[in-house]
Structure 1
Amino acid sequence: MEPAENVSESWEENAEDWIAWTRAPDNDVFYRHFQQPAFARLVPRPGRRTVEIGCGEGRVGRWLAGRGHSVAGIDSSPTLVQSARAAGGYDELICGDAAHLPWEDGSFDAAVAFMVLHDMPVMPQAIRELARVLECGSPLCIAIVHPINRPPEQLADYFTEHRISDEVAQNGLRMNFVGINRPFEDYARELCEAGFVIEALHEPRPDPAAIEAAPALAAATRSPFFLHLRCRLFGQR
């Protein structure tokens, strides 16, 4: 399947498949045994209010709420927002565009963008909007596909954006992952220009217990699959 002209539209097209993929017991072992435990080391303690952009069907928001966060979420897919609302955990959920957040300046003291910035054609605007709705000094925690986690033919042209469409079958389920590969410099530039300072950068690797639980994770000990960042807002330069 070719990606839709708008990557966000593709996630709405694949929303039911994503809900089935992420909620099937122990299907997404990369999230359960690897990504979530690694990302937890970056996420701050609960504060006044946390915003999550690209909240999808809500698994990260539910996890944050379980840790005591008051979470507002936004996603462009009506189907995913409806599913997240039905599952609970959020104090507020909006179907909308991360490039035009509906909240007032300084409404939040933490933000999360988990595995979504590489799905957004409007990544720079989304980062600027996060800077606007965060109060100064607030953290932004990010997870993305590692920029070198690409097919060899795309690494040969690393500095050019590549729209990707990767259909995966597993445990009787199918999911078409659609997004945009970008060099890391693009993310760093937009974060810095929006007033963020990168204070932590992790290339997580699964530990032996994770590999024992899910042997497929072993490949991530040799080559980075994901990149995790914690940034802090200090105001635009």
Structure 2
Amino acid sequence: MWERRAAEWTAWARTAGHDVHFTHLNWPAFEELVPAPGRLTLDLGCGEGRVGRLLQPVGHRLVGLDTAPTLAALARDGGGYERVLDAAATAIPLDDGTVDLVVAFMSLHDMDDPARAIAECGRVLEAGGRLCLAIVHPLNRPAEALEDYFAHQRVAVPVERDGLTMTFEAIDRPLGYYTGALEDAGFVVEALREPRPDAAAAQPLFLHMRCRREW
């Protein structure tokens, strides 16, 4: 899906001031959970590379990973990463204990098998390493989908604003799916946040977690 949407997504993400949810809510709240730079940071599902371009200037050494060749090439050319891997999150081409931080910013909910990806994060992280993840909040889904919250449901949401269009495709899953996968992979949740768009908002848009690999 992301390879098909690569041109749309790049315009959406790189047009200055366009992705207001990212700029004013999602990233500022998420950044507060990210640990200080360490040995090596893996950006899991790096897309066109904006997370790397934000973390590298504050001291992170980064490896990016994405399955969409067009987006991986854009991340590689855009700077911020020491290297970008064309690979799946379920088979990360890094040795055990290679990194001390994995950032999975708005990527796990797009994957067919997030549990396996989380297990791979546990494998490449050193003991005590952190996984920081952001997903679409499990309650942030169409009303009809909430009729069966526990079902895994594919969604496609087209959005148009200021002349740009983007169809966001993902798989809605209950929160327990993610916490179960984290538990199975040896993680404990250190912090969980539901950034509120504004005081009038009735439900959160995103869910953030910082998790520590215990074994």
Which TM-score band (shorter chain)?
over 0.9
Gaps of 5+ in 2: none
Gaps of 5+ in 1: 1-9, 207-217
Higher strand share: 2
Cα deviations across residues 171-196 of structure 1 (Å, max 9, x unaligned)? 10010111100000000000000000
Shift of 1:144: 0.4
| AA at the equivalent of 1:45 | A
Q: CA RMSD in A?
A: 1.0
Shift of 1:221: 3.1
TM-score by length of 2: 0.98
Q: Which residue is 1:225 aligned to?
A: 205
Identity of paired residues, percent? 51
Rounded Cα–Cα distance in structure 2 between residues aligned with 1:32 and 1:94: 26
Shift of 1:58: 0.3
Rounded Cα–Cα distance in structure 1 between residues aligned with 2:48 and 2:200: 25
The number of aligned residues is 215
| AA at the equivalent of 2:20 | V
Q: Which residue is 2:91 aligned to?
A: 100
Rounded Cα–Cα distance in structure 2 between residues aligned with 1:168 and 1:107: 38
* 1:185 pairs with 2:204: no
Moved over 2 A (4+): 218-222
Higher helix share: 1
* 1:35 pairs with 2:15: no
Rounded Cα–Cα distance in structure 2 between residues aligned with 1:23 and 1:155: 32
Question: 1:1-237 counterparts in 2 under 5 A?
Answer: 10-206=1-197, 218=198, 221-235=201-215
Shift of 1:67: 1.3
TM-score by length of 1: 0.89
Rounded Cα–Cα distance in structure 1 between residues aligned with 2:115 and 2:66: 16
Cα deviations across residues 11-57 of structure 1 (Å, max 9, x unaligned)? 10000100000011100000011111101110000000001110000
